Structure 1
């Protein structure tokens, strides 16, 4: 009788370690369909096909590898066909989910817009996007209902005012986050605008960096409120002052959320502003060359950083890419204040004021963008900014114009002094347009805000509520006080309905972490306002002096969280 060991194939004992598809280690053969498509043709090359072929011959002429792959290199995703419920999201083939219309993402690096740019986006929204215009938590503006025939004209109009959709999506260096108050905040460590522009010029649309293992999210800021959420970016440059009194950057790598969240790690180096572009190139080069390409779900840089550790990552960066050591540097100061959104009226360092306002869950439209431009211009401003909290800011308002601009914005439901719930609730695109979503988000979140304002009119503590339509965490559910992950749940009648799994007590900043999961804690979409008002009331009655929601969650009885 043979033993189990004797039946083991010989190859089991001599199995070679399987590579992760890292180019730098010689794994050049594509290991999945995405990598094969990128090897067959660079995503940047789809632009000319869109102009020459697809825009002229229509949707049905688009090569599937371009439609569901390379077109993302120019900010284009097919949107979800209307009428397909969330239960079919993971079951149907892509071609069954695809509508013949596109979401188009306009990248707004640093969140910086002048009024001419804002008006062009507004016109494109009204003429080609059925009036849609959503602010994202990456400072972009997304349009919907875009037809392929319209895309070349849209690009011409955007590029005429210095805007672009290049690498707004795809396995690329996507939009670079920056503080909307760069250059005007009296408390800023430094103004990162010049470095953001330099990185954009060198790396965006550059074929050397257009085939990354996955998307690559970046942030550069000297903001004292840490508004660019550096802890959850692939690479982040955070303003610091070293022992010599020089302003520069502390470098973070490997942050990201989705289904396997990780906080970024400090490399402990000090980066001078004039070095930022080179260091960025080194980090993105490491990701390109050493990033994991075998399995799509492990292809973000956070997995590499987690496996290597910050010490090895720093060593490879300095020795192989920069060819010189970087000096040690200080950690960032703690963030100023408990809110990172720049909503309200505050002084600039030049004596003028900035005015930040809160659209409801980032949802605007073409007409409202024109209204914002007109109000800003009437009050002497030529610049607006988008934030990473789905909000906007008007810069350069003279002191004698503040009351008037606040009144004008609020007349148009652009709240400058919003409730906590309007101010700190965000929502992803959801099932309305997104092919990955399981539930509706924007309307649910807007209804939640209305209900909470009605039920808890005096509640004024900081409280983030982030609503996501699927597990991918575009709306950053793991770092919200109340994070809502869309899924189908069973209601009291035994019916399968839209609902949310609930994450509680996530946070960034002083005690960054992913919060607390309470086993089985879910709600239907219909019961969501009842649940949130109940748990917020429990916090409000039980909190100690100065205690945040996230801190309360860690000590609260499970019964008070349900």
Structure 2
């Protein structure tokens, strides 16, 4: 495709589009396309499938922030791709790996409940869409010390892993007024001060003041988080240094006083798997995807089926799955999906995630998504269908949020017998819903050792007669 662009055209891409750096599978560049609130029309999905075919070898991934990830992007064709995305109304993450210092961070795609507005009438995803539009390409917020992640939900469950976000917003109703309780300072990578779950600010932010509140918090990150090095440049470092009370004071200096809110939040664990009924009597149906891996043809099938059996809208989920909404006949949709996809009846296939380490060069053979497939295979072998959550990160950056799952793996490379080998550390007992961090169970396992150990642990679990939470408490008490 020959697209001619003048300098005026190119200026519309500045601060809104960026190629990321890949270092594996022969890919030099990736695109992480922001899909606001994970909502995408069938028509737009068809076009992204075409972009994947033409520029990305027909491969695509759903990320755990409701983005679509394309790889093998030729830098010489970047402006062509940007133009195609611009016409769709989509932007990309502003990936800052190419800059040596703490600069040019942006507000990443704001994750929200994939069923916002469908299962309850407080639709927090609308705020995610508006905030994403405001921050994307906004020059006031395009040079943050480092990226800033926001999660928002009002469905009563932690379907977006609230605790791992720089800013998490929990929608509630207080005496008939809608608003949000914010948590701040989450981030589970090893940047300073280390893995940290978001802390409750214990305030109530009325929905009418949410926009100003979020701008104030992101502005504090921009103006006060350290730029001394990338390792010190996440917002959690400032929250750890200042404390929640000081952050609150500075926010209130900007936007006015906020009301205390100290009631327990009591979030549930529902992440809207399988099928269910919407408020309007129609249905939703979630298609599980191991590691979010798709190809262009499967993107087309998803778009086609959403038009045939729903309203032509698809929701991408924070667990790397696809949810069909406004479905009239669930059985007809299921029948159509079975021809192209695996439909699993295990909760673990819906709730487990794996990062894209094969492309960023952080792992050798066996990559994070491969390990996810191996671990899910162990559950299938033992007939375990309940909600066992497995999160796998390829490296200490913790893109797979391994610290907040029942079982987490994090990859690393070490020297053994004069060669560099791929190993994994196994963590157990985390739970994002309880803001509970997992504990290291065994370190430096070869991939086959990790799978074998997990097999042994699941065998013990099956015969224990205990609930998963009870079993994990015992397991963590007898670490070898």
- Name the structure 2 match of 1:515: 438
Change (3 A) 1:490 1:290: closer
Q: Distance in 2 between matches of 1:168 and 1:117?
A: 23
RMSD of aligned Cα (Å): 2.6
Going from structure 1 to structure 2, the CA distance change for 1:346 and 1:81 (only over 3 Å counts) comes to closer
Over residues 120-149 of structure 1, what are the superposed CA-to-partner deviations in whole Å (9 max), with x where a residue is unaligned?
111101111001101111111100011122
Mapped pair 1:364 → 2:294: yes
Deviations 1:272-313 (A, max 9, x none): 112111100000111111111113211111111111111111
Q: 1:411 to 1:313 in 2, by over 3 A?
A: same
Deviates more, 1:384-393 or 1:144-153: 144-153
**Residue 76 of structure 1 pairs with residue 4 of structure 2:** no
My pick for the range that moved more, 444-453 or 103-112, is 444-453
For the residues of structure 1 that align with 2:173 and 2:214, how far apart are their CA atoms? 19
| Cα distance between partner residues in 2 of 1:527 and 1:540 | 20
Aligned pair partner of 1:553 in 459, 467, 472: 472
SS at match of 1:483: strand
CA contact (8 A) 1:503 1:517 kept: yes
Structure 2 equivalent of residue 480 of structure 1: 405
Matched ranges for 1:142-541 at <5 A: 142-165=69-92, 167=94, 171-186=105-120, 190-242=122-174, 244-259=175-190, 260-319=194-253, 321-322=254-255, 324-331=256-263, 333-336=265-268, 338-340=269-271, 342-398=272-328, 401-415=329-343, 417-430=344-357, 432-437=358-363, 440-453=367-380, 455-456=381-382, 458-488=383-413, 496-510=420-434, 512-518=435-441, 520-541=442-463
Task: Describe the superposition over 1:473-531 as per-residue Cα deviations: whole angstroms up to 9, x where unpaired.
Answer: 0000111111111123578x896532211111111223x2212223x534211233321
For structure 1, the residue ranges without an aligned partner over 5 or more in a row are 1-46, 54-69, 83-98
**Contact kept? 2:353, 2:391, Cα under 8 Å:** yes
Unaligned runs of 5+ in 2: 97-103
* 2:44 equivalent in structure 1: 117
Residues 401-446 of structure 1, C-alpha deviations (whole Å, 9 max, x = no match): 110101221321242x43244223321111x210444562222322
Distance 1:426 1:266 in 2: 25
Contact 2:20–2:95 under 8 Å retained in 1: no
Q: 1:535: how far off?
A: 0.8
**Displacement, 1:360?**
1.7
d(CA) in 2 for partners of 1:211, 1:557:
42
SS in 1 for 2:324: strand
**CA drift at 1:266:** 1.4
What is the alpha-carbon distance in structure 1 between the residues aligned to residue 378 and residue 448 of structure 2?
A: 12
TM-aligned CA deviation for residue 325 of structure 1 = 0.4
What is the Cα deviation at residue 368 of structure 1?
0.5
Q: Specify whether residues 264 and 234 from structure 1 end up closer, same or farther in structure 2 by C-alpha distance, changes over 3 A only.
A: same
Structure 1 557/80 Cα, relative in aligned 2: closer, same or farther at 3 Å?
Answer: closer
Alpha-carbon separation, structure 1, partners of 2:9 and 2:394: 33
**CA distance 1:450–1:413, change in 2 (3 Å):** farther
Mapped to 2, the partners of 1:385 and 1:314 lie a distance apart of 34
**8 Å Cα contact 2:27-2:359 kept in structure 1:** no
SS where residue 202 of structure 2 aligns? strand
